[in-house]
């Protein structure tokens, strides 16, 4: 009998949730991975970090994910970097990196792979360029987003008299969000936030809903979580059926009804999304300019759906992407644990499909309420 076939009482489930949350806080407190860091980059299987210690050279550290070794445990917060925690003051300003490139005395590099620790010789071997952000990303002028829509799409956006008691309004960042929301509305997709129309100043208007914090706080027990996850799974299946990959399945993009019984997906920009998925992290490590080269797919949405379930159940977030993998601590208790593990497989082909996720969730038995 699998864990999914076993009825887990709400009392047992909630006690395990609290245990996992407490364990996570203990690991975060004990780890020095992020203490004193100036900048970090997390790729598919590699962590890059810059650290500054007073009166010492800047330290660059690269840690490779080799499970069940020192480096893998460091990334899962089960071991620390092999130096005393650097203080939080005297951090490196990234605008000084150009000068550092020409002075090897100012920076020392270390590589941790498996159980081996080695010093990186030569400044040219340290990829300082990773840490210099190129802020050339282009966003549409929010005042022009609605104006750039086709006449047919504009006609689908009636003018709304905004009432803050029943509405939420925002300036859209990208026209793709409006186009996708209109497509979802045209197909009558359930559990996708409803785009009501626009205001005369160019904002788009939605029904007023609760944020994910309120929804999560009021979704208690196996039955309630199963209901919410099935709603979100169905919404994602329907989005995929009309060719929309969400890309950014995070708790902040989940909204809830006032009675906390219904969940809705929002944020359909389909722009640069979550990077925790392995193939997405690998692609973004190479380039971020052309998003058509980043392999967002139904499989990457499945991966992030697994992460979404975990974050929603445990009501927090990880410090590293490796915490949420097999061997990490950031996984929910039964009966949802095995579903999540089959969502977050490293290979896209090894993951469940969203239809399989829905079937697995439907099969979870729930405690009988008295």
Dump pLDDT digits (tens) for 137-181.
455 555 578 777 888 998 999 999 999 999 999 999 889 999 999
Terminal-residue alpha carbon distance, the chain: 25
pLDDT score for 142: 55
Tell me whether strands 58-64 and 107-113 are parallel, antiparallel or unpaired.
parallel
**Bigger pLDDT: 263 or 44?**
263
Residues 110 and 216 both lie in one domain? no
**Which residue among 72, 102, 131 closes a domain?**
131
**Residues found in the chain:** 370
How sure is the predictor about 272, in pLDDT bands with cuts at 50, 70 and 90?
Answer: confident
Instruction: Give the pLDDT of residue 229.
Output: 98
Question: What CA–CA distances, in Å, run from 4 to 76, 228, 364?
Answer: 26, 17, 5
Confidence band (pLDDT; 50, 70, 90) for 98? very low
* pLDDT at position 97: 41
214 shares a domain with 123: no
The whole-angstrom separation of Cα 316 and Cα 332 is 11
Instruction: For residue 97, give its domain range.
Output: 33-131
Condensed to tens digits (0 to 9), the pLDDT of residues 296-306 reads 999 999 999 99
The reported pTM is 0.86
When mean pLDDT is compared across 32-46, 116-130, 201-215, 254-268, the lowest value belongs to: 116-130
Of 109, 131, 153, which one is at a domain's C-terminal end?
A: 131
Integer Cα distance of 20 and 325 in angstroms: 15
User: Averaged over 216-244, what is the pLDDT?
Assistant: 96
pLDDT at 92: 38
Contact 241, 183 (CB under 8 A): no
Q: What does the block give as tokens for 344? A: 């977050």
Q: How many CA atoms lie within 13 Å of 141's alpha carbon, on the beta-carbon side?
A: 4
Residue 270: closest CA among 295, 250, 244: 244
Q: Work out the percent of the chain whose per-residue pLDDT is above 90.
A: 62
Residues 109 and 214 in one domain: no
Give the pLDDT band (50/70/90) at residue 96.
very low
Mean pLDDT over 325-340 rounds to: 91
Question: Which of 302, 255, 257, 252 has its CA nearest to residue 276?
Answer: 302
Furthest CA-CA distance within the chain: 72
Closest CA to 337 of 2, 68, 28: 2
Cβ partners under 8 Å of residue 332, min gap 6: 17, 20, 309, 310, 313, 314, 340
d(CA 341, CA 199): 44
Mean pLDDT of the residues in the chain: 86
**Same domain, yes or no, for 116 and 223?**
no
Q: Which residue has the higher pLDDT, 132 or 202?
A: 202
In the chain, the number of structural domains is 2
Confidence category of residue 38, pLDDT binned at 50, 70, 90: confident
pLDDT digits (tens, 9 = 90+) for 53-78: 665 667 889 999 999 999 999 999 99
Asked if the structure places residue 164 within a domain, the reply is no
Q: So what's the pLDDT on residue 123?
A: 67
108 and 234, same domain (yes or no): no
Domain annotation covers residue 76: yes
Cα separation, 55 vs 198, in Å, equals: 57
The whole-number pLDDT of residue 340 equals 96
Of residues 135 and 79, more confidently modeled: 79
Q: What percentage of the chain exceeds 70 in pLDDT?
A: 86
- Among 73, 100, 131, give the residue marking a domain's end: 131
Q: Is the pLDDT of residue 251 over 70?
A: yes
For residue 231, pLDDT beyond 60: yes
């Amino acid at each position: 009998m699998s864990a999914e076939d076993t009825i887990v009482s709400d009392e047992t489930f909630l006690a395990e949730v609290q245990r996992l949350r407490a364990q996570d806080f203990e690991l975060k407190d004990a780890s020095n991975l992020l203490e004193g860091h100036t900048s970090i980059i997390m790729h598919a299987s590699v962590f890059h970090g810059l650290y500054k210690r007073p009166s010492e050279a800047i330290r660059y550290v690269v840690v490779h994910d080799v499970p069940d070794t020192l480096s893998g445990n460091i990334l899962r917060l089960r071991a620390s970097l092999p130096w005393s925690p650097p203080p939080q003051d005297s951090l490196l300003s990234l605008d000084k990196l150009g000068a550092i490139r020409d002075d090897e005395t100012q920076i020392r590099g270390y590589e941790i792979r498996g159980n081996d620790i080695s010093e990186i010789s030569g400044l040219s071997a340290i990829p300082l360029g990773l840490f210099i952000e190129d802020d050339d990303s282009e966003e549409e002028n929010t005042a022009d987003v609605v104006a750039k829509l086709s006449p047919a799409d504009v006609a689908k956006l009636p003018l709304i008299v905004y009432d803050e008691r029943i509405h939420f309004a925002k300036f859209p960042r990208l026209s793709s969000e409006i186009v996708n929301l209109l497509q979802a509305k045209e197909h009558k997709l359930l559990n996708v936030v409803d785009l009501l129309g626009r205001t005369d100043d160019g904002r788009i208007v939605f029904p007023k809903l609760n944020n994910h914090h309120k929804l999560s706080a009021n979704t208690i027990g196996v039955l309630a979580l199963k209901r919410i996850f099935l709603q979100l799974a169905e919404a994602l299946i329907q989005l995929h059926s009309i060719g929309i990959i969400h890309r950014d399945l995070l708790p902040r993009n989940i909204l809830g009804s006032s009675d906390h019984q219904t969940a809705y997906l929002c944020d359909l920009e389909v722009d640069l999304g979550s990077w925790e998925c392995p193939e997405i992290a690998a692609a973004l490590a190479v380039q971020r300019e052309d998003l058509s080269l980043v392999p967002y797919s139904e499989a990457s949405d499945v991966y992030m759906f697994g992460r979404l379930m975990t974050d929603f159940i445990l009501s927090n977030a990880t410090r590293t992407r490796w915490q949420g993998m097999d061997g990490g601590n950031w996984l929910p208790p039964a009966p949802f644990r095995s579903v999540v593990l089959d969502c977050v497989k490293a290979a896209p082909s090894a993951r469940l499909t969203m239809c399989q996720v829905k079937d697995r969730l439907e099969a979870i038995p729930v405690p009988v309420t008295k």
